[in-house]
Amino acid sequence: MGFVFFDTETTGLRHGFDQIVHFAAIRTDNDLNETNRFEVRSRLLPHVVPHPLALLTNRLTIEQLSDGTLPSHYDMVRAIQRTLLAWSPSIFVGYNSIRFDEEMLRHALFQTLHPAYLTSNNGNCRADALGLVMAAATLSPACLVVPLGPEGRPTFRLDQLTSANDLTHDQAHDAMADAVATLGLCRLVRERAPELWQRFIRFSKKATVGDFVESEDGFFLTEFFNNQAYHAPVVCLGLDPDQPNGRLCLRLDVPPEELASMPEEALQSYLSAKPSPVRRLRINASPTLTAFYDAPDIMLNGADIAELEDRARRLKEDVAFRSRIISLYVALREPYAPSLHVEGQIYDGFLGPADERRIADFHEVSWLDALSIVRHLDDERLRIFGRRLIYLGGRSVLPSDLKVVVERDLTDRLVDKAAGNFTLQQALQETERLLNGDRIDTDGILAGYRTYLIDRISRVTEFRAREFAAETG
């Protein structure tokens, strides 16, 4: 199985509300030799307002994002989906991708009526190079040069890390340049720390992670906070009842008999401590795991492996106590609050097989026939996104009542904070704050964006007053 190294540039950081404007990917063989590459851009969706900091970071002007010769967002996602399916099965790797780029891609697919989990279905696996380089810096420090930030702490910013390791990275925050840089870092780790690289590949596979955490008599779970690695000896308690891919693990700091003898209130207090002794991992998110017998001294920190293994075995044998801990821990968690906005509801249920067939057909028919398909979708989320796609691509087929519904919905997102989006007015305020601060706007990106926002606010206000006057009159 080969690899796909990919990156996205976006209008901001909010999954579901911001959009991808530049996607790039490099396909390699198993030895990280490049075999193909792909990139595509899209113009700005009319209901998405970029954050000015995103424009500065990506060095994109609002004129570039509004370029009518660029593909639509829908056409861009269609091209991404076709390419990535053609490159499947592969191991998909990005830099901080599982927390960010993967989420942006999932939402883009979902909102354009495609199956959202492309990189974890279709025989694919996924892994995150940020976790790999952080693990390398801790477990194999000679592998990479890790630069220090202003406060003297390690920094893992991609542009600084590549510079410190003499890798070419001329255009940081360009999707293709960042994908090339990520591939370069992975090549260094593969060459200089082959055991760590093999473990990285091994735990990119969901089934392998599941087998490992369930069969091992304890292991080290490495988590990263503020660019620091924390190694916890844990044992898997069992499934997270709220997440099929989640596993709940318990730190092995305290002998199980001591925990079992605690009164209910004391045990609840122990489990609710911060950080919690119960650690949650996702078997489909490429966690950093180390068997006890492979653990270096930096992980052991003087711990007695035999004692840790014995504690783990005793906990695994006590099924009733493990169930008790899971029940108490789950009861202490904040209940899940569904999003009020359709953009935030991607994880509020899987699609039924009938809707899966319908959305596959949606992309193969005329806009008029697509409208008929949308009317028959069972999932309300899909109906909303389907109407948006038809409005943006073939609005003439929408009856007037549906057209008004979509226009109200989309323009609400431009002017009303309660609709969930970053609004035009918020963007203007933030742009003016940056212009009046110490930000250097040498390329005129902020000044041009300010002019655009003022004009757009005026035009949207006039449009709403004209089109929705009957509703407010």
pLDDT of residue 429: 97
Enter the DSSP assignment of 101: I
Read off the pLDDT of each residue in 439-454 and give the average, rounded to a whole number: 91
Enter the DSSP assignment of 172: T
Beta bridge partners of 127: 93
Dihedrals φ, ψ of 31, to 5°?
A: -95, 15
Q: How is residue 39 written in tokens?
A: 């990139």
pLDDT score of 366 more than 70: yes
Mean pLDDT of the chain: 94
- DSSP-based three-state secondary structure for 412: helix
pLDDT of residue 410: 96
pLDDT of residue 470: 63
**Lowest mean per-residue pLDDT among 45-54, 138-147, 363-372:** 138-147
pLDDT score of 206 more than 80: yes
How many degrees, rounded to 5, is the angle at CA 131 between CA 309 and CA 171?
A: 170
For 283-301, write each residue's pLDDT tens digit: 999 999 999 988 888 888 8
Distances (CA, A) of 391 to 19, 400, 405, 410: 18, 11, 10, 10
- Contact by Cβ (8 Å): 174, 268: no
**Lowest mean per-residue pLDDT among 49-63, 141-155, 194-208:** 141-155
Helix (H) or strand (E) holding 311: helix 305-317
Q: How confident is the model at residue 173 (pLDDT cuts 50, 70, 90)?
A: confident
Q: How confident is the model at residue 471 (pLDDT cuts 50, 70, 90)?
A: low
Give the whole-angstrom CA distance, residue 95 versus residue 180: 11
Q: How confident is the model at residue 469 (pLDDT cuts 50, 70, 90)?
A: confident
Give the whole-angstrom CA distance, residue 15 versus residue 312: 38
pLDDT score of 473 more than 50: no
Cβ-based neighbour number of residue 423 at 10 Å: 20
Q: In what order do the strands lie in the sheet with 125-128?
A: 34-41, 20-28, 2-10, 90-94, 125-128
Give the whole-angstrom CA distance, residue 55 versus residue 431: 10
- Contact by Cβ (8 Å): 221, 281: yes
Read off the pLDDT of each residue in 387-398 and give the average, rounded to a whole number: 96
pLDDT of residue 296: 84
Q: Quick check: pTM over 0.75?
A: yes
pLDDT of residue 259: 93
Read off the pLDDT of each residue in 381-402 and give the average, rounded to a whole number: 96
Q: Look-up: residue for tokens 């249920």?
A: 349
How many degrees, rounded to 5, is the angle at CA 299 between CA 293 and CA 304?
A: 60
- Contact by Cβ (8 Å): 392, 72: yes
pLDDT of residue 335: 84
pLDDT of residue 333: 87
Q: What percent of the chain has pLDDT over 90?
A: 86
Q: Is 122 exposed, middle or buried (0-12, 13-18, 19+ CB in 10 A)?
A: middle
Q: How is residue 349 written in tokens?
A: 């249920």
pLDDT score of 156 more than 70: yes
Give the whole-angstrom CA distance, residue 67 versus residue 42: 9
Give the whole-angstrom CA distance, residue 320 versus residue 316: 10
Q: Which residues contact 463 (CB under 8 A, 6 or more apart)?
A: 411
pLDDT score of 54 more than 60: yes
pLDDT score of 191 more than 50: yes
Read off the pLDDT of each residue in 357-384 and give the average, rounded to a whole number: 98
Enter the DSSP assignment of 89: S
Highest mean pLDDT among 18-22, 54-58, 166-170: 18-22
